[in-house]
Amino acid sequence: MKNKIKLRIASPEDARKLRDIYAPYVKKTAITFEYDVPTVKEFKNRIKTTLENYPYIVSLDKDEIVGYAYLGRFKARRAYDWSAETSIYVKEEFRGRGIGKILYQALEKTAQKQGIVNLFACVTNAKIPDKHQDNVSVGFHMHMGYKKVGTLEKCGYKFGKWYNMTVFSKTIGKRRKNMPPVVPFPETDVSDILK
């Protein structure tokens, strides 16, 4: 699978295809706490806004977009500049084929080039897995070297049930006394990562 998968930076023109990957997660799962599928216009805006500071990477199999991952601001206060939150979605029929790992590795390498030190993933989960939440994301993040740092109990209500949110953390850079500023994504050369 790895040899077939290609990576590139997303563009706002990908909005409809990325939204189509995301829609089943909204409609059928508690993996996202959104209730309504965003419009294509809203998705374009999300992509554009993300790319102002962070990477937004798509994976392709034979020119078909089969997944995407991006970083976002963890918190707005300036002291959090060296931290970012991860997000990832893979097309339903392509899950379990290693695409998530490829996307996350590229995302982490890009974040390192930017000077980001901490990555956080907020993962919904169920105490008892059900048809809306199978807890696969928990295992994925642990496999990728993320450590569980805490759980917000029953913080999200969807499909008539309360779900937990577990925060995972991974350190990908060095902490220094005098931290250099994070390089905004558009100014970061990631051509070697996307080969």
In a domain, 131, yes or no: yes
pLDDT tens-digit profile of 101-152?
999 999 999 999 999 999 999 999 998 899 999 999 999 999 999 999 999 9
pLDDT for the residue 2: 47
Is 96 or 18 the better-scoring residue by pLDDT? 18
Total domains present in the chain: 1
* CATH number of the domain bearing residue 143: 3.40.630.30
Query: What domain range is 54 assigned to?
Result: 5-174
In a domain, 72, yes or no: yes
In a domain, 22, yes or no: yes
CB distance 43 to 15 below 8 Å: yes
Helix/strand/coil (H, E, C) string of the chain? Answer: CCCCEEEEECCHHHHHHHHHHHHHHHHHCCCCCCCCCCCHHHHHHHHHHHHCCCCEEEEEECCEEEEEEEEEECCCCHHHCCEEEEEEEECHHHCCCCHHHHHHHHHHHHHHHHCCCEEEEEEEECCCCECCECCHHHHHHHHCCCEEEEEEEEEEEECCEEEEEEEEEEECCCCCCCCCCCCCHHHCCCCCCCC
The pLDDT confidence band at residue 153, using thresholds 50, 70 and 90, is very high
pLDDT for the residue 191: 81
pLDDT for the residue 3: 55
In a domain, 41, yes or no: yes
In a domain, 185, yes or no: no
Q: What is the mean pLDDT of residues 170-181?
A: 96
pLDDT for the residue 186: 83
Considering only CA atoms, which of 106, 74, 150 is closest in space to residue 10?
A: 106
CB distance 55 to 10 below 8 Å: no
Is the predicted pLDDT of residue 1 greater than 80, yes or no? Answer: no
Structure tokens at 181: 């500023």
pLDDT for the residue 187: 81
Burial class (CB in 10 A: 0-12, 13-18, 19+), 68: buried
In a domain, 193, yes or no: no
pLDDT tens-digit profile of 45-100?
999 999 999 999 999 999 999 999 999 999 999 999 999 999 999 999 999 889 99
In a domain, 60, yes or no: yes
In a domain, 9, yes or no: yes
